[in-house]
Amino acid sequence: MSVFTPVTAESLSDWLGGYAIGRLVEHQGISAGVQNTNFFVTTTLGRYVLTLFESIPRAELPYYLYLMAHLAHHGLPVPAPVADRNNEYLGTLSDKPAALVARLSGRSVMEPTAQHCAKVGAMLAGLHLAGQSYGRRQENPRGAHWRTRTAARVRPHLDASGRELLDAELAFQAQQRYDALPRGAIHADLFRDNVLWDGDYIGGVIDFYFAGNDALLFDVAVTANDWCTEPDGSFDPDRSQALLAAYHAERPFTRAELDAWQPMLRAAALRFWLSRAEDFHLPKPGEMVLVKNPDEYQDILRLRIAHGCPMPPGS
């Protein structure tokens, strides 16, 4: 269970005294998630999610909280952060940086159809369009610099074929020129478990704590690699075309994006192979409870290299 830091009812009741959302009714640890400690919090006035940030530096947190506020302000189903009575989103609880956000309705769908993928593609384009007017800047925390650093740390723990793949892919990615791609605020982790469905509608897009400024196409590639794949990692053409066509209808891909699509799918696969391999081989003591399988993304990377990938429409 991913509750790294306990919170007592007494300390939470005291802390909620700094807000205007009524009295604590109950709080319950959330088992999903790998990064932060989360609780569902019910007060006499509403339902919220409390997050205690376990590893993200405090100075980086306003970027995420204000981004969620910005996107919610633009009408997207993103958890709006709750300001305290001093008008601050970020506080401290159990000696950790802490924030409350609105609890959104719905459940994750782990076996999505082409219809789900179309909705996710359109939603992602909406996030990118609304994000263009977001004033804060913060680099993607899992961008190119992180990739180089993490590859060096993880490499000694891989077997020979893993090392060969990693070296070749790093060399390939170093040759790519992504500079001409449209950039902006990206979610960067829009996996199935980060979208809550309320019937046929997206009730919530959650977990913005890997967001940052980067190529918008990277976000599309991360999303397609998760939402449109079969259990063996290969693409389901119906789902990938549905996602890409719906995205393209809201924010048409540029020529540079069409040209960069296949290398970008590989960059997105490499990112999750590396983070999972780091969590698996180099766990931080007492921190990581749920560790996702790195081989899944090593396989996806091999598949993206071996096979032509469906291209976005208009190419």
Contacting positions for ligand ADP (CB under 6 A): 2, 30, 32-36, 38, 49, 79, 101, 103-104, 193-194, 204, 206-207, 209
CB-based closest residue to ligand ADP: 33
Residue number with CB closer to ligand ADP (205 or 216): 205
**Minimum distance between the CB of residue 80 and ligand ADP, rounded to whole angstroms?**
9
CA distance 141 to 149: 12
Q: Which does 104 bind (CB under 5 to 8 A by kind): ligand LJ64HWYM, ligand ADP, none?
A: ligand ADP
**Residue keyed to tokens 């976000």:** 219
Q: Which does 189 bind (CB under 5 to 8 A by kind): ligand LJ64HWYM, ligand ADP, none?
A: ligand LJ64HWYM
* Burial of 191 from C-beta contacts in 10 A (0-12 / 13-18 / 19+): middle
Q: Which of 193, 250, 259, 299 binds ligand LJ64HWYM (CB under 6 A)?
A: 193
Residue number with CB closer to ligand ADP (39 or 218): 39
CA distance 205 to 68: 10
Of 9-17, 31-39, 73-81, 298-306, the segment contacting ligand LJ64HWYM by CB under 6 A is 31-39
**Minimum distance between the CB of residue 98 and ligand ADP, rounded to whole angstroms?**
13
Residue number with CB closer to ligand ADP (208 or 235): 208
Other Cβ atoms within 10 Å of 199 Cβ, number: 8
Strand-pair category, 183-186 with 96-102: unpaired
Which residues in 170-184 are b (16+ Cβ under 10 Å) and which e? Answer: beebeeeebeebebb
Long-range contacts of 37-46 (CB under 8 A, 24+ apart): 37/2, 37/3, 37/4, 37/5, 37/7, 37/96, 38/2, 38/3, 39/3, 39/7, 39/12, 40/103, 41/12, 41/16, 41/100, 41/103, 43/16, 45/21, 46/21, 46/22, 46/102, 46/103
Position 229 contacts ligand LJ64HWYM (CB under 6 A): no
**Minimum distance between the CB of residue 206 and ligand ADP, rounded to whole angstroms?**
4
Position 223 contacts ligand LJ64HWYM (CB under 6 A): no
Residue number with CB closer to ligand ADP (107 or 255): 107
Question: In the complex, which residues of this chain contact ligand LJ64HWYM (CB under 6 A)?
Answer: 33-35, 189, 191, 193-194, 207, 272, 275-276, 292
